[in-house]
Structure 1
Amino acid sequence: MKTEELVNYQNKLMGLIPPERIVKVEFARPPREVIEAFLEMDGLTPTVSDVLDSMGIKGTISASRLRPIITGKKIVGPAVTIRYIPESNTPDNGYYKMERAKLADRDVYAIAEKGDVAVFDAASLGEISVMGGLSTLVAKQWGMAGNIVDGGVRDIDTVRKLDYPVWSTGQTPLTGKYRVEAMEINGSVSIAGIRVNPGDLIIADDSGVCVVPGSKAVEVLEKTISAARREEEVVKLFESGASIEELSKILPPSKW
């Protein structure tokens, strides 16, 4: 992207990544009413996962892979992305030379819109953190919906104190400073083997994370509402003592 496109964000950008590594700022996001409709639903990711399967879309990650740091949270929002790789120098060298750390999470928040979800591709780093307490504070202050981190997170007590939704593959005290380098913001990334593009809809709860392609968000919502209604009807009939024949007319037992 052209550097001039970042002018509107100068009052928030911290210069943590070279401008040429920010692929885009403006991109299509699912309509707000679609996001709100998803948020109103219970049992969200299991139903969305089934819908994605029915559409031939690979987009589900279990909570055993991406674990919620705070249980009981539910987020739905468009993705903004950041990709990390290991730093080429050793931490000792970075500290000795007092070099600038190459973490760039706060610049992701700076160019995001309120309600966006920050998605971190950092699996190659192992148990090294790519966000912590200060990152959490900035994200919450600037209106992010939550973070999905395929990598490590630290300052877990602060994350919980701030009551900010984060799903991660690791929890660690080990800093990413002088160990990691941000290579790209708002490019395509991969989390737990699932591709995420800026503007894709991220849905997460205690069961896991679903990635809905932005162009499919409306269709997935319609199918999710329909599936949820069928299931609710089956539950009511079952609790009322209806026969298997009656239940099968709504939803065959093989699809329960």
Structure 2
Amino acid sequence: MTVEQSQLAAVAPRLPGTVPAERIATVSVRRHAPSLVAPLLTLPDLCSAVADTLDELGTGSVIPGHLLNRAAGTGRVCGPAITLRYVAVGGDVSANRAAGRGLLIGDRDLYGLAQPGDIAVMDASAAHDTAVLGGLSARWADLAGLAACVVDGTVRDTDSLREVGLAVWSAGRNPACGRYRIEAVELNGPVSLFGRTVRPGDYLVADDDGVCVIPHDDVPAVVERCLASAQAEHELTELLASGRRLEEIVSLLRSRSTPA
């Protein structure tokens, strides 16, 4: 038995088995120590801070809130991605139902591969006209300890999603379910969020402004620079609130930027 097979066997009790094992690209997802990334969650305007840092480092990607909007939950999240890719089955729903097509819905199996704090990233970009996550799925994800679900596609059961409280971002809402319309083709392989590639183990941060994707290997540098930038912004904020006149503040900032 290979390492991957033994790892799959280890998580098998958590998997409903809807998705065949050959469609699970990997069980092993690289994750950083939670203590490394936890400081990001203390930053005000998290996604904006991370987006600025990604620009400075020339890495990662940003998806604005009008494309991936919060559907449920509150606050901000940060965690490693586990991924699921769907394709559209095509054809008529009634015919697909009669033929048994479109029954490979992979969210429950994906959650079984998760560790607490992971973020489920679902690529349903080929089927935006059908919902790939609803109330029962959110309850399953919450029980598995996921921090959030981010869906390039639509979701449904909005009232139930809000009741569960799991953080969910999506491209929109649609009451039509994915059954007989889509099929899971790969778990824990590369996926797309509005054209931006996400790989298992990449880190996502999300808040009301949108979603940022940090490549796994760049996470330490992003955290370090974000914290340094946050400290500089905090000092400027305190200066602006100090009661000094604008002219005094400008003069002080100029003196700080003038080489000795």
TM-score range, shorter chain: over 0.9
**2:226 is matched with which residue?**
224
Cα distance 1:8–1:169, how it changes in 2: closer, same or farther (>3 A)? same
Task: Deviation per CA, 1:162-199: give whole Å up to 9, x if none.
Answer: 11100000111011001001110111111012111101
Measured in 2, the distance between the counterparts of 1:81 and 1:101 equals 18
Letter in 1 for 2:185: M
Question: Alignment partner for residue 250 of structure 2, among 244, 250, 255?
Answer: 244
Which letter maps to 1:94?
N
Cα drift, residue 99 of structure 1: 5.4
- Runs of 4+ in structure 1 off by over 6 angstroms are none
In structure 1, the residue corresponding to 2:145 is in which secondary structure?
A: coil
1:106 to 99, 105, 108: 108
The residue that corresponds to 2:203 in the other structure is 201
Matched residue SS, 1:94 = helix
What are the equivalent positions in structure 2 for 1:184-199 lying under 5 Å apart?
Answer: 184-199=186-201
Tell me which residue corresponds to 1:155. Answer: 157
- Contact 1:3 1:20 (C-alpha < 8 Å) held by counterparts: no
CA contact (8 A) 2:60 2:212 kept: no
Give structure 1 stretches of 5+ with no counterpart: none
Counterpart of 1:26 in structure 2 is 28
Could you tell me whether the CA contact under 8 Å between 1:84 and 1:122 is conserved in 2? yes
For 2:118 and 2:84, locate their aligned partners in 1 and report how far apart those are by CA, in whole Å. 13
Partner amino acid, structure 1, of 2:126: S
The structure with the largest alpha-carbon Rg is 2
Secondary structure of 1:130's match? Answer: strand
The verdict on how the C-alpha distance between 1:96 and 1:243 changes in structure 2, with shifts beyond 3 A counting, is same
The structure 1 residue matched to 2:134, chosen from 90, 112, 132, is 132
| Maintained 8 Å contact 1:103/1:182 | yes
What one-letter code is carried by the residue in structure 2 that aligns with 1:27?
A: V
SS at match of 2:72: coil
Note the C-alpha offset of 1:101: 1.3
The whole-number CA distance in structure 2 between the counterparts of 1:228 and 1:100 is 47
User: Amino acid of the residue matched to residue 41 of structure 2?
Assistant: L
Indicate which of 181, 184, 192 corresponds to 2:183: 181
Amino acid at match of 1:137: R
8 A Cα contact 2:72 2:158, kept in partner? no
- The 5 A counterparts of 1:9-48 are 9-48=11-50
CA distance in 1, matches of 2:255, 2:22: 57
8 Å contact kept, 2:29–2:82: no
Give the secondary structure class of the aligned counterpart of 2:111.
Answer: helix
For 2:251, the aligned partner's letter is: E
Query: Which stretch has the larger CA shift, 33-42 or 169-178?
Result: 33-42
Q: TM-score if structure 1 supplies the norm length?
A: 0.93
- How far does residue 5 in structure 1 lie from its aligned partner after superposition? 3.3
> 1:80, CA displacement in angstroms?
0.2
In the superposition, the TM-score normalised over structure 2's length comes to 0.91
**Which digits, 9 at most, give the CA deviation of each residue in 1:66-91, with x for residues without a partner?**
00013642111100000111014431
Q: CA separation of 1:13/1:72 partners in 2, compared to 1, >3 Å: closer, same or farther?
A: closer
In structure 2, runs of 5+ residues without a counterpart are: none
Deviations 1:91-118 (A, max 9, x none): 1123234557111011000011111000
Distance (Å, rounded) in 2 between the aligned partners of 1:113 and 1:55: 29
Match of 1:69 among 68, 71, 82: 71
Partner of 2:85, secondary structure, is strand
For 1:163, the aligned partner's letter is G
